[in-house]
Amino acid sequence: MLIAAATPLSFFQAIVIGLIQGVTELFPISSLGHSVLVPYLFGWHTLVSSQSNGNKFYLAFVVGLHCASAVALLVFYRKDWSRLIAAFFHTLAKRKIETSEERLIWLIIVATIPAGVIGLLLEKHLATLFSKPLAAAIFLTCNGLILLGGERVRQRSEVKALAAREGLTASGSRRLDTMAWKEAGIIGFGQSLALIAGISRSGVTMVAGLVRGLDHEDAVKFAFLLATPIILAAGLVKVPDLLGSAGNGIRGQVLAGSAVAAVASYFSVRFLTRYFRTRTLTPFAIYCLVVGAFFIVLSLINP
């Protein structure tokens, strides 16, 4: 059933998009891209036009789903965040960084700053400009190429030499806490590409970690830890929209979709942290290339 005139978003649509959001936010295949392409595929034209025209109700709904994913990440990494927050206050008290956890929390802070600033300045403009089916499909294809490129670059001798120079883990990769402040800042800028529908936040961050010598397990952990404050901050900024006129008629749908997204995100991060102990980004790259090409053709045939 398409959208009824009385409401811009049905509960069925909210649950479907919430489920897809919960998976694609953490899988390196772009949740924002899927929030554009899935309504287009199902013929939910009001949602498609709302996304591309910058309508606040759909943007507020999507941000609500993002917050649900962030809560799932907080629950999954609750022990890590407890130690990291304690480490942060220890550094303030001592005015120096001594442990690996103290360094890691400051790496996260450094990487969060550029992504947060760029998001505040450009999020609305980029969402309106690129949140169209053809653009999202093109950038989803580009995301696949980024993932493939990251896997290829990490095999180069200079990346292996960098890992050896900075200190190796048991797997022969670089330790996460050896990253430089400049590297964290660059990863933060790279994460900003996720403001474009079709580019994955976790995918870009993982690739940045891999090409700097991290293994897949540490790269995905850093990506998920880094995503949590960014997503939560974006949600807090948009809370007034949900409480205001943009939330009229969809607050129940936001709650339903968010509940589904939170559960899906929790099981997604649980799966991915195990998956990347032994496997690579290549299957996700192939998915992005195939699905991106499909939607490029579909959007050209049926604009």
d(CA 207, CA 219): 8
Percentage above 70 pLDDT, the chain? 87
Measured CA distances, 131 to 12, 168, 201 (Å): 22, 41, 16
In this predicted model, which residue has the larger pLDDT, 218 or 143?
A: 143
Percentage above 90 pLDDT, the chain? 50
Q: Report pLDDT digits (tens) over 221-271.
A: 999 999 898 888 877 777 777 777 666 778 888 899 999 999 999 999 999
Task: Kindly tell me the burial class for residue 88, based on how many C-beta atoms sit within 10 Å of its own C-beta (0-12, 13-18, 19 or more).
Answer: middle
In this predicted model, which residue has the larger pLDDT, 129 or 235?
A: 235
Q: Tokens at residue 159, please?
A: 């990346």
> Which H helix or E strand runs over 3?
none
Tell me what the pLDDT averaged over the chain comes to: 85
- Residue 130 pLDDT level (bands cut at 50, 70, 90): low
Q: How high is the pLDDT of residue 303? A: 75
The DSSP string of 91-108 is HHHHTS--SHHHHHHHHH
Q: Report pLDDT digits (tens) over 56-69.
A: 677 778 778 888 99
| pTM of the predicted structure, to 2 decimals | 0.88
Mean pLDDT of 118-127: 68
Q: How high is the pLDDT of residue 54? A: 55
